[in-house]
Structure 1
């Protein structure tokens, strides 16, 4: 069973190896950060295997019995009056061995002023997108491997144009309890548009993610290491602002090498006191830092931080992510334990 799953991941990766990221796909909101906890740890952590049902939105293999009757609601006041959020819930059934997961992700782009081709003002309009998901995971018998899948229905409306589509996420996760070690791989957004915006069918933002995390022995710290966008190697690009003009007037462009591409796939995260009622989270997203870095100015792009606090049956989470000197985002989350 595990060999078949490994082969499936290889086939998916090879089928999309020529893809590029950024501006070439529809339903881009599917890959937005889905919780304050994930945002604080760098943006795409997939190796948490605990009570947090929002983790199931990104990695269905992480759906587990600890999520039973946990309701998570998250909200983000994003850039330029854009708002988005998620909600997720898990339920344990069938002799308390099977877990079902449901979630919703939405984004509201706000109001826009409309103009015709001559520049004359017309009616204002809005835009929004939503995805409904249902997930399920199970343990491969007699192993430490877990597999899971999400099925998503997607609706998008931008001005007078609308689209409807569907996608699935496939994931595998290895949980070795003696070492508190988690290793996972996720293939996200495998799907298509059922109805396009305007005759042309656009691809979905497929992504292959790999992650590993572990809690240190005798030290209340859990480290996270994530490799994002593994479906395509070349994600670095030459920044014209980093070109150098020599004394003869020649322009020397930025040299993108193997190391530049390798490091841009990496995300680092730390969770202090991960199992206590209060914990602190820190993250660093290398690609975000490099793409949004301002020359000769310290902007702390790529850094993120947050905390979580448990109050009886409620958990509150907050995180702050720095994108540039002029742009940042705050994430708010509320988890309610409905078992109590």
Structure 2
């Protein structure tokens, strides 16, 4: 554990420096990476990183939740949103006894349906079918009795007709579980990485939706309930949603987080 904690601290501080300041308000690329693929994850607000169980979809989000008892399991999810947008998710896991570790393989795919393609003057040129996807490989291993750590490596792809982009990303998670007190806690460094190819090949590369999250879950001793609390964007003190048009209308200074008047 003395080696693991310094690694986490380095990841937290070095990643934002390498990728410049992380932003909010839809200014990052591949924001679909934050979309949950598990019904359980979605029901818990889409951000829970500390609820330990047998749901492979939770391990897709936080690799430190990947466990031995998930060996051979399969998780499949389908979501249908407004205007024909559909999301598919599929992942499975394997326990490697020789190395006392676990591996997972998963896919997330978003289909935005058929859209009308036009030129700058509004002339209809035809239709196109935009899509986003990620292919992810996960790893986890137990450290002593109560600690687990894990890593996700993912290839990210996006296709919007003639505009295509891809990138690579990584998630690193650390989980603590005390079975006697039913206390579960996690820290997750999410979406480290970079855009490899921009959509038009000309614009500067954009940042991934990096996030530093911490969560805690406590199960009640004499009731079939547990409570969770998750904090996100802990690497930023100012999480004001920055919209340039709104800022101008309301005289808001995004650097101060309040009215510039």
Place the TM-score, normalised by the shorter chain, in its bin: 0.7 to 0.9
Aligned to 2:225: 221
Aligned to 1:19: 22
- What is the rounded CA distance, in whole Å, between the counterparts of 2:148 and 2:59 in structure 1? 13
Indicate how the Cα distance of structure 1 residues 14 and 115 shifts in structure 2: closer, same or farther if over 3 A, else same.
closer
Is the 8 Å Cα contact of residues 31 and 209 (structure 2) preserved in structure 1? yes
The reply to whether residue 208 of structure 1 matches residue 187 of structure 2 is no
Displacement over 3 Å in runs of 4+: 12-18, 236-239, 251-254
Deviates more, 1:208-217 or 1:113-122: 113-122
Cα 1:80–1:176 change in 2 (3 A) is: same
CA RMSD of the aligned region, Å? 2.8
Give the unaligned 5+ runs of structure 1.
240-250, 262-340
> Which one has more relative contact order, counting CA pairs under 8 Å at least 6 apart?
1
* Cα distance in 1, alignment partners of residues 240 and 71 from structure 2: 41
TM-score by length of 1: 0.67
Counterpart in 1 of 2:133? 130
* 1:97 CA drift (Å): 3.1
Where structure 2 has 5 or more consecutive residues not aligned to the other structure, the ranges are: 244-248
| Structure 1 residue 42: Cα displacement | 1.4
Deviation at 1:27, TM superposition (A): 1.1
Deviation at 1:58, TM superposition (A): 0.8
Q: CA deviation at 1:17?
A: 8.5
Looking at structure 2, the residues matched to 209 and 97 of structure 1 have their Cα atoms a distance apart, in angstroms, of: 27
Shift of 1:12: 4.3
| Residue correspondences, number | 248
Is structure 2 residue 116 aligned with structure 1 residue 113? yes
Which residue of structure 1 aligns with residue 63 of structure 2?
60
Partner of residue 70 from structure 1, selected from 69, 73, 81: 73
Q: Give the C-alpha shift of residue 174 in structure 1.
A: 0.8
Are positions 1:85 and 2:99 aligned together? no
In 1, the alpha carbon distance for the partners of 2:99 and 2:15 equals 35
Q: Counterparts of 1:262-277 in structure 2 under 5 Å?
A: none
CA contact (8 A) 1:130 1:154 kept: yes
Give deviations 1:227-251, integer Å, cap 9, x for gaps. 1222322223599xxxxxxxxxxx9
Relative distance call for 1:124 and 1:144 in structure 2 (3 A) is: same
C-alpha distance 117-38 of structure 1, shift in aligned 2 (>3 A) = same
Is 1:230 the counterpart of 2:247? The answer is no
Name the SS of the counterpart of 2:82 in structure 1. Answer: coil
What is the CA–CA distance in structure 2 between the aligned matches of 1:20 and 1:218, rounded to whole Å?
Answer: 43
Cα distance in 1, alignment partners of residues 103 and 15 from structure 2: 27
What is the match of residue 41 of structure 1? 44
Higher-Rg structure is 1
CA contact (8 A) 1:60 1:169 kept: yes
